[in-house]
Amino acid sequence: MFYVGRPRQGPAQQWAEEYARRIGRFCEFRLQAVRSEQALPAGARSFRVLLDPAGRHLSSTELAAVIEKVENGAVKELQFVVGGVDGFSEPVRQEADLLMALSRLTLSHELARVAAAEQIYRAFTILRNHPYPR
């Protein structure tokens, strides 16, 4: 998961790191800060999900289906991206494979990382029939 901006230490960062550790049981996963959206790595074989308030509202099961489809495809890397304070530029939004909303509420970047990481973990547990989501 990429996020635009500098990481701030605190409880939200600790929770995001905890979920990153849990997700690591299922796949290679990391939290990585980038200075700007222009610094996001390009990848011809990546599937990029922008976390954007104007994006689609998915259930946890629907997110799991997206992850499963990507896992079974020819995609090398699944990228989730949390935008900066100004969101994403239109060119970056147009290049995304999926715009996904976490909530209709405005969330701080720190909280958005935690919520996204938890939902990614939940999606993997759904796919692996793990008891976590019950």
What would the pLDDT profile of 41-53 be if each residue is shown by its tens digit? Answer: 877 788 999 999 8
Checking if the pLDDT of 86 tops 70, the result is yes
Q: pLDDT > 90: what percent of the chain?
A: 68
58-74 pLDDT tens trace: 999 999 999 999 988 87
Q: Which residue has the tokens 């299922």?
A: 26
Confidence band, pLDDT 50/70/90 cuts, at residue 133: low
Pick the residue with more confidence: 7 or 20? 20
State the pLDDT at residue 80: 96
Tokens representing 131? 């008891």
**Taking a C-beta distance cutoff of 8 angstroms, is the pair 61, 17 a contact?**
no
State the pLDDT at residue 61: 96
Spell out the domain ranges in the chain. Answer: 2-109
CA dist., res. 50 & res. 58, Å (int):
13
Q: What is the pTM of this model?
A: 0.92
CATH class of 2-109: alpha beta
